[in-house]
């Protein structure tokens, strides 16, 4: 019988760690897809509304803001699209970002028991997370594009880069989520802070109202990592222009660096976290 013998490794280079991560992703592709299918079936097979739950929360949020605006309880003006389309598109993109931030931690936390008992490529959980998010993008696009068409914003060639911008928005969310995952596995406070902080963060992001101009709130909006890519994606769906190129490049680069550091930290700390969970 073959046995795996684990020995301490010192001075392990970041290069070797990153090679191990890539190998784990490659080895875990099939398992990640199977985990995605298994959870997809189990999450919705006992639900009456099924996949509707993927798009229901952002539509409910949008409905509340649209109603408040129509009743003039709040007044949102100068939006580059009619407010209903602007709000629905914004909340859909925001919900996708929130899901991408929460997904890695949820996947790893849910698999702690399995990781204690079984030896398998841990990166398969990341693969499953990406499948989850790609499926969510597909469902949201399937509803959002026809709805925007009905509201007067037909799809065209500009829709394709809009979808790609959604994927980048998910990438930014995943980079944040992966970076937070090892801390979230060690301390439950991280999940609580995320559940409180993300709804607050929505209000300094142009989700249900346009980018502010000429005040300190403008800086809060434009310098948060979500505003530029969310607004850029929405502008492509709504076929209007925004000038945020520098911020798109900057936050895309930062998220790329963040996901690399997050993967390395997760790779180093996960064996310790799993060992403590099993003891």
Q: Where are the alpha helices (DSSP H) in 45-158?
A: 52-70, 83-110, 112-117, 123-150
- In terms of Cβ atoms closer than 10 Å to its own Cβ (0-12, 13-18, 19+), residue 190 is middle
* pLDDT in the model for residue 232: 92
The pLDDT assigned to 27 comes to 86
Examine residue 191 and state whether it is found in any structural domain, yes or no: yes
Ordered alpha helix ranges (H), 187-244: 189-202, 216-222, 227-238
Domains in the chain, number: 1
Angstrom distance (rounded) from CA 100 to CA 84: 24
Nearest-10 crossing angle of helices 189-202, 83-110: 170
Which pLDDT belongs to residue 211? 73
- Structural domain includes residue 274: yes
Quote the pLDDT of residue 16: 82
| 81 phi-psi bin (left φ>0, alpha ψ -120 to 50, beta other) | beta
Q: What is the pLDDT of residues 145-195, one digit of tens each?
A: 988 998 889 998 889 999 999 999 999 999 999 999 999 988 888 888 888
* Parent domain of 137: 27-40+51-278
Report yes or no: 97 and 172 within 8 Å, Cβ to Cβ.
yes
Residue with tokens 């592709």: 29
The segments of the chain whose pLDDT lies below 70 read 1-12, 44-54, 212-220, 278-279
Distance of CA 116 to CAs 33, 58, 274, Å? 21, 36, 6
Write the DSSP symbol of residue 81: S
Q: What does the pLDDT read at residue 47?
A: 62
Site of tokens 């409905």: 63
Is 120 inside any structural domain? yes
Q: What is the pLDDT of residue 215?
A: 62
């Amino acid at each position: 019988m073959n046995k795996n013998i684990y020995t301490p490794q010192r001075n392990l280079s970041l290069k070797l760690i990153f090679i191990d991560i890539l190998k784990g992703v490659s080895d875990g592709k099939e398992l990640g897809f199977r985990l995605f299918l298994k959870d997809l079936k189990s999450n919705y097979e006992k639900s009456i509304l099924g996949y509707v739950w993927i798009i229901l929360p952002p539509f409910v949020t949008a409905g509340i803001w649209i109603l408040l605006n129509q009743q003039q309880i709040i007044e949102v003006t100068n939006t580059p699209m009619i407010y209903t389309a602007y709000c629905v598109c914004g909340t859909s993109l925001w919900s996708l970002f929130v899901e991408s931030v929460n997904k890695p931690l949820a996947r790893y936390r849910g698999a702690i028991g399995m990781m204690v008992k079984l030896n398998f490529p841990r990166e398969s959980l990341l693969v499953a997370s990406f499948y989850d998010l790609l499926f969510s993008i597909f469902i949201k696009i399937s509803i959002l594009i026809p709805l925007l068409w009905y509201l007067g914003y037909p799809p065209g060639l500009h829709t394709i880069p809009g979808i790609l911008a959604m994927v980048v928005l998910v990438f930014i969310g995943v980079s944040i989520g992966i970076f937070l995952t090892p801390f979230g596995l060690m301390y439950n406070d991280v999940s609580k802070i995320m559940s409180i902080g993300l709804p607050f963060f929505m209000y300094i992001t142009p989700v249900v109202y346009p980018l502010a101009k000429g005040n300190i709130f403008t800086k809060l909006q434009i310098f948060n990592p979500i505003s530029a890519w969310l607004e850029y994606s929405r502008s492509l769906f709504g076929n209007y222009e925004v000038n945020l190129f520098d911020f798109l490049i900057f936050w895309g680069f930062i998220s790329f660096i963040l996901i690399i550091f997050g993967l390395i930290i997760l790779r180093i700390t996960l064996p310790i976290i799993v060992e403590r969970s099993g003891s």
